[in-house]
Amino acid sequence: IAGSDVSKQAADMILLDDNFASIVTGVEEGRLIFDNLKKSIAYTLTSNIPEITPFLIYLTTDTPLALGTITILCIDLGTDMIPAISLAYEKTKH
């Protein structure tokens, strides 16, 4: 085994070209992805709180559910997933 093969296996990041600016670009892309994931998860969690509240009321007071579970799932997919996906693909702000 050559020394460069061992170092490639042990490395967290391998440069495919001789430009060290690629590291900066990679770190910037990683930060962008992490920030977008945080935004998307925060949006999804905060939008689910109003959806969980009727179920909690149903469980504590034995009132009938206004919507079925499949209907609520369809509403959730239509209203939550598209904005969350758009947050995940947001570009950087310079």
The residues spanned by each domain of the chain are: 17-88
Q: Which two tokens stand for residue 59?
A: 């469980």
pLDDT at 94 over 70: no
Q: How high does pLDDT run on average in the chain?
A: 82
| H or E element, residue 80 | none
pLDDT at 30 over 80: yes
pLDDT confidence of residue 34: 92
pLDDT confidence of residue 52: 82
pLDDT digits (tens, 9 = 90+) for 31-46: 999 998 898 888 888 8
Q: Which two tokens stand for residue 1?
A: 């085994």
Compute the Cα dihedral for 39, 40, 45, 50 and give only its sign. Answer: positive
Residue 17 burial (CB < 10 Å; 0-12/13-18/19+)? exposed
Compute the Cα dihedral for 16, 23, 9, 5 and give only its sign. Answer: positive
pLDDT at 14 over 70: yes
The model scores a pTM over 0.75 = no
Q: What is the DSSP string of 30-66?
A: HHHHHHHHHHHHHHHHHHHHHHHHHHHHHHHH-PPPS
Mean pLDDT computed over 50-55: 81
